[in-house]
Structure formats: structure tokens, C-alpha cells
Copies of this chain bind each other. A is one copy, B any other.
Amino acid sequence: MIKVLPIFSSVESQVDFSKYELQFKALADQKRLQIMYELTQKGSVCVCDLVDIVNMPQSKLSYHLKILLDANLITKETKGTWSYYELNHEEVNRLLSPELCCIFRKSENQSSGCCS
């Protein structure tokens, strides 16, 4: 039995960038960065409050929250009819430089590690 190997016309990338594409897409929007920033400042926020904080119609906010959630940049906890969203610091730290993480860190916690 002869195995026919696929022939590539050029060097193929060894790294799978699809996960990063998804995450950078989520970050690639000022509105979503602001949502992340507000979650940083306020900790855990429910959608009904976030609507006023970021001044967005509910369905629009829901759309953007979903994109951030799918990218694992925020987490969600449901309590009754309320949904509380929080920043996923672990994932943000995994992705962004200390300098940038800093933006998504409350001032009282900025002494730990980064934000020199």
C-alpha cells in the first residue's frame, strides 16, 4: 500500500490561530472594550444595570456580551431572571501584556506584578 502525502505549494503554518482570531475579534471593538472596562471597575454587573452604564439598547448589549462570552473573555452567572457578567481575568492575563491587562484591573489591585 502506497501512502500519498499531500503536497503543499509552500510552508504551512504550524500554529492554529483560529482561537486567537476569535478572541482578537472580540477585542476588536471599542464598545466591547468599554464593556470589559466597566466590568473591571464594577466587578460583577447585571445586564439591566450595564444597559445604563454603557448606554446601549438591551438587545445590542446582549449581542456584544455574547461575543465576549464566546471568546471566554467574560463569564456569566444567572440568578433568577438576572444575568451577572464578570471579566475573566485569567484569560485576559493569558492573552494581553501586563501593560494592557492593567487597564482591565482595579486600581487597588495594580500593585500585583504589572502596572509598574
A residues engaging B (CB < 8 A)?
A: 9-11, 13, 15, 17-18, 20-21, 24-25, 27-30, 33-34, 37-38, 52-55, 93-101, 103
Contacts and interface: CB of A to CB of B under 8 A. Distances in A.
13 contacts: A10-B52, A10-B55, A13-B38, A17-B30, A17-B34, A17-B37, A20-B100, A21-B28, A21-B30, A24-B28, A27-B27, A95-B96, A97-B98
B28 A13 contact: no
B52 A9 contact: yes
B11 A53 contact: yes
A8 to B, nearest CB: 8
Q: What's the number of copies of this chain in the assembled complex?
A: 2
A34 B95 CA distance: 17
A21 B29 contact: yes
